[in-house]
Structure 1
């Protein structure tokens, strides 16, 4: 079997990427008689299309991205019929594999769901093992909303300030997360890096403990052979599951990576992403809380590393920023290395550059910050940017 320097896990899904259509949302608001007061009520499980709509509107109104869980596939399919959409492959594991393959790096993936759509979208010269032997169709609805958009219906008045994306999960196979012994026993013997992301939709705590115990054993084996363990965070549906995941695994993780929204969730406060003192304090808190060697935080303005030998990861951060920004600019039409090289050469974002200098003066050798670049495109992609960041960071990490 083919061996690779990069191993990626753990899950995947089938994405329905909905084309932005505020008129369809407005029609849905009127149809279900949704009002402003509904958006202020306590969050509840998504049991029907009206619940789904209210959750989507809450995200858009707040201007943030995030994930929420569906109770059944039919609700997702019913809602998706109101929009044009494209079927793509989802999950940090396959999306990052696709991204890094554009730079010539192959990988081996641990997947949990497989169907013809996924088979056709995976890079042909990358390896994969799927822990589910039957064909399955786990759906993620992806809603990408632009900046400066309006939703006006009933008494609802929403104006978007920035672009972002919402993920609505129907994720049975990720919720049980069967793990393949074949993958861990036979495909990672030459892995220099193993990227771990998942467990975030598991809510059965006893089953989760069983999966985490096995995963912990595998991380110990990988560490013994010199593999670097990179953990990319995800939006957990259940805080207890999140805490269990960190308690079982983080002793063996080398790099903990997360985006700005996840950082704010952990700290339970808003953070000015251009205030270097606030971000430096946040990075220090995360490193100390999780006792992790290196914390990586990626945002729209910059990407930074904080912790042991942070400055050694400058090329990794630049690779992550460049890959994410290339996807931001070109979306799924990013197919050529020349597009990556063009993005790499763009001038630094002025706000990000100023922040990076201030951050360096505060943290010294404990940190490294690379600013984002200036982008002129107006029609941009916000789906999969974190996955693209991973796909740019890890190839450089595998060369260290």
Structure 2
């Protein structure tokens, strides 16, 4: 019998910008932006604010997600670049990744239009809380390591490749729960939870958490619940979701940016003692039964199920690495080719040491050596990790 997956809680239509530093330089000049104006934390209330924010992300080589005051800002910036329209959202990208390996799933959506209907794989079913078609696009920007942008008299050089998301998505922000979610969950083997990070109103968040909890009562008692964390549009709401999910989810998953946000500091991901200390501290802050952390250098699990999750961690790494190498449209053969690749010797040694430091309730898997990828894709890597992680649960 095939594994039955229900993946929530919402998808998006994405405008993926083709990286073009000349356009960014023109936008900075048009809006009088100098190096002193760059700000990672600035509210994005105008095109100027978005450019200030984006250039700060490039300067620091980091990624993130930011709320935009209006979708008109997204449209205005997208109009200046070559743009590809794709589907996003953790559950949607995970479903697309799983479809590559022949695994079907049911999505919970909060918005839909003809673009979503056209781009979803035929193997992917859905339930939806949308009462009419709508589109509120997310602006996705990825930049390569070494990207150079001149701002005033300074030249910004990105130390790492990464991606940024800008969005104003009312259906996603409301995250209304479909009435037939409970019916979809009655036969679910695995339920993926995500997307609570976009809610901005505490009362709305409480209502949605309660509705999901009620729907989950229909699940089989042995179903696995996986929660994928994210960057919160209202950071103060992160703790409430964490407090709910540490007892709701069997597996609580997050990436390096979210780990560092919880810890309130940067973590040297290539120093074994620092990593082990950070993971122990993180598990105290996020006391889920099993905690998963996935980064560009390794993925690990600690807690009750950690020893059994090695294949799932490797599946996540392989799927994310395939997307990093090839972007959209890769095949099962491409996934297999990625799986035949090896990690760097230094990363393998690092993960061995971290495993030793964390003890028997930990499993650490090194990332693959992707140093020769000339044009990497940095959009959707975490989502693809989730898809590969879940797919490995259903495959030998």
Per the normalisation by structure 2, the TM-score is 0.96
Q: Does 1:218 align with 2:200?
A: no
1:152 is aligned, of 140, 145, 150, to 150
Tell me the SS of whatever aligns to 1:258.
Answer: strand
Mapped to 2, the partners of 1:65 and 1:178 lie a distance apart of 27
Q: Does 1:394 align with 2:390?
A: yes
Greater shift in the superposed pair: 203-212 or 259-268: 203-212
Q: Does 1:359 align with 2:357?
A: no
Aligned partner of 2:60 in structure 1 is 62
Tell me the SS of whatever aligns to 2:200.
Answer: coil
Mapped to 2, the partners of 1:354 and 1:328 lie a distance apart of 23
Mapped to 2, the partners of 1:35 and 1:108 lie a distance apart of 47
Q: Does 1:190 align with 2:178?
A: no
1:324 is aligned, of 320, 324, 343, to 320
Aligned partner of 1:33 in structure 2 is 32
Summarize the alignment of residues 301-316 of structure 1 with structure 2, pairs less than 5 Å apart: 301-316=297-312
Aligned residues: 394
CA contact (8 A) 1:193 1:398 kept: no
TM superposition shift of 1:239: 2.2
The CA deviation string for residues 230-287 of structure 1, in whole angstroms up to 9 with x for no partner, is 0001110112221221223321211111111110010001111011222222222222
The CA deviation string for residues 322-355 of structure 1, in whole angstroms up to 9 with x for no partner, is 0000000000131x21100100011112232111
TM superposition shift of 1:216: 2.2
1:86 is aligned, of 66, 84, 89, to 84
Mapped to 2, the partners of 1:200 and 1:333 lie a distance apart of 28
CA contact (8 A) 2:59 2:159 kept: no
Per the normalisation by structure 1, the TM-score is 0.95
The CA deviation string for residues 115-156 of structure 1, in whole angstroms up to 9 with x for no partner, is 111111111122101111211102110000011111013133
CA contact (8 A) 1:192 1:398 kept: no
Aligned partner of 1:338 in structure 2 is 333
TM superposition shift of 1:220: 4.5
TM superposition shift of 1:366: 1.4
CA contact (8 A) 1:212 1:249 kept: no
> Structure 2, unaligned stretches of length 5 or more?
none
> Structure 1, unaligned stretches of length 5 or more?
none
Mapped to 2, the partners of 1:214 and 1:38 lie a distance apart of 43
TM superposition shift of 1:104: 0.9
Mapped to 1, the partners of 2:147 and 2:286 lie a distance apart of 39
2:254 is aligned, of 240, 251, 258, to 258
The CA deviation string for residues 300-329 of structure 1, in whole angstroms up to 9 with x for no partner, is 111111111412101001100000000000
Q: Does 1:282 align with 2:281?
A: no
Q: Does 1:202 align with 2:189?
A: no
TM superposition shift of 1:44: 3.2
CA contact (8 A) 1:219 1:252 kept: no
